[in-house]
Structure formats: C-alpha cells, structure tokens
Structure 1
C-alpha cells in the first residue's frame, strides 16, 4: 500500500525526486547528490545556509510539541475564517468530487509536493545555477520563518474538522491512517498560511525565473494541482491559500535577490583569493 507508513512515503518521494531530476534536466539525476556534497564541502556560505534551512525544518517539526508543552495559548480563529468565506470549500468539493480524482490529488499533496522542493535544489545543482540554489534555500527559510509564528499565534483548524463548514476529508479515502501516520508532521491547527501553497508557488516562481522552461512547466502544473488539492481534499480554507500565495511570492522574490547577492559575493571572494595566492 502506497501510504502504509512514513517509510513507504519517503521511498516513493525519493523515486519522485529521481524522476523529476531526470525529466527536469535530462541528465543523470544522481549528479545532484555529488554536486550537493561538493558544494557543502567546498563552499562555507552554502554549508551555513543549508544548515540554517535544515534547522528551520526541524523547528517546524517540533513546533506542535512546543505548542502543546510550553506555549499556553488556546485561541481558535477557525470560526472567524469560516465567517469570512462561508462554504467555499464545501461547494468546490461538491462541484469537482470524483473517486478517480482523489488518489491523483492525494499523490500530489503528499509525494509530489515534497519531491518538488528537494528536486528544485537538485535541478539547479545539476545545471550549476548556484544563484538559484542559494535562492531556493533562502526562500524555504523565509517561508517557514514567516509561517511558524502564525501557527503559534493565529491557530486555524483544518476545514474538514470544523463541523459547521460541512467539508469532507477525502484524504481518508486513499490514506485511511492519515491521522496516525502523517498527522504528527503537521498540527491540525497549522492551517494559516498554507505551506503547501506557499512552497509550491515559491518553487514555480523560482523555476520560471531560472530560465529552465522544462522545469518551469513541471513546477507550474504541479503547483496548480497541489493548490487545488488543498481544497478538494478538505484541508485548507480559501484564506489559507491566499495568504500562502502572497507568502510564496514574497519568499521567492526575496530569495532570488539574496541568492544572487550571495553568489556574487562568493564569486568575488573566489576571484580575490586567486589573485592574492
């Protein structure tokens, strides 16, 4: 079974990354791993940036535990969100629901989403686009750094869990053990903003700005399907998507600026060292 455990999810995510790297570059996908190791060993700036990105991902992983054990804050802004947008998600589900669509969108939500993020770094490493490698790492950092405070201070429950919304959690049709297997990675009230939206939009914008048309098409189509899936599967509110889209635009724009700046400084330092040695 595809979603039997986090191990199978990790395995199929890895396979997705390999396929995406090959399709996105038409090169040996394993070149990305060698390029990553080389860059970590030879470029201190990238090592620090990569470590910071890994750190923010770990912080997000333990945010729910911190909230439950140390953060005595029990606000719930879900009724306010529902009051703003009403039954938008319910009506969308009723309009588009079909048993054959559900597994496709669940696949994009669970597997392709993660593969896009990892694959983006790999694609730019293979193509020696160091400015975009930096930009992707910066953008991921920005997304999580700005989202985590909202998760703590502006808790919003997933749409399906708020009974007045009348939303169905279609994820359970293909992943019955979602709540026990996948839920520990994301709190029920970590809805606003939608990181699935913000990171998907971020990867798509970065791809369009990279000049790789093939990768731009892949990330653009995937982002559209992932954003649609957050409504169809009954997880996010429209407000989450709007906030996530704005965050993705901001994170990608700032990430590209910082990435180019970091790459330029690295080149200048390298040139200076060559001239002085």
Structure 2
C-alpha cells in the first residue's frame, strides 16, 4: 500500500464501486432485453448468482474468516481514505467476516462464464 500512487486511488475506487455494480446489473439487463432462445442466458446467470449467494451464505456461517484489513494493523482501506462514505455502504451490506469465499470474485467469474457461453449471440458483451 505504501507504493500505491495517490493518483490511482480515485480511479480504482470508482472502478470498484461503479464497475462491479455495473457488471452485476448489466448482464441480466442485456440478456433480459435480448430476443430468442427463451432467454436461456438470463436464466443461467440468475441461477449462477443464486448459487454464489447460497454457497457464500453457508461458508460465511461455517467459517469465520477475517480479511487482511481487519486483521493486520499495517493494512488500511485505501478506498475509505478517498471516499470515506463507502465504508458506510459496505458495512450496511456485509460484515467484516464475509471474506471467504469472495463473492466479488465468484460473481465476476459467473458473469464472464455466461458471457463466454453467450458470445455467439452477444459478441459485444463478452469483452465488457
């Protein structure tokens, strides 16, 4: 964190807060608005979202895990320094032990997996 350029903090904070939300919402909207195939890809994506949350809920209940920013004094939330109000938002939707599994990672992988499967019918969505 000490070598992170200050100029990049705002870019990555906005990318994280807006980009991840965009990724989660744009996929279902894209597939909902598409015609044909009885919206198979929309169903696949929504089932993937539900499975991710189901597995996450079970793991969050069974495994108490703390991320590095909650465990190590030398690690701080750089995003919170740039936009302190994001701490209120993240605290409202997650506890400090919701770190295993990473829903950010698993949901992102679910989106790219369905995007890859739908690349023939939605060629512009896959690169997004």
Residue ranges of structure 2 left out of the alignment (5+ in a row)? none
Aligned: 1:170 with 2:78? yes
Higher RCO (CA < 8 A, seq sep 6+): 2
Q: Report deviation, 1:94.
A: 4.6
Residue ranges of structure 1 left out of the alignment (5+ in a row)? 1-92, 219-277
Match of 1:107 among 14, 24, 49: 14
The structure number with the bigger radius of gyration is 1
Aligned: 1:134 with 2:43? yes
- For 2:45 and 2:79, locate their aligned partners in 1 and report how far apart those are by CA, in whole Å: 29
Aligned equivalent of 2:65 = 156
Q: Report deviation, 1:213.
A: 2.7
Q: 1:96-127: CA deviations, max 9, x gaps?
A: x1112212221222222122111101111222
The number of equivalent residue pairs is 124
- For 1:151 and 1:135, locate their aligned partners in 2 and report how far apart those are by CA, in whole Å: 24
Structure with greater helix percent: 1
| Secondary structure at 2:30 match in 1 | helix
5 Å-filtered alignment, 1:1-277, equals 93-94=1-2, 97-128=4-35, 129=37, 130-163=39-72, 166-211=74-119, 212-218=122-128
Q: TM-score, normalised by structure 1?
A: 0.42
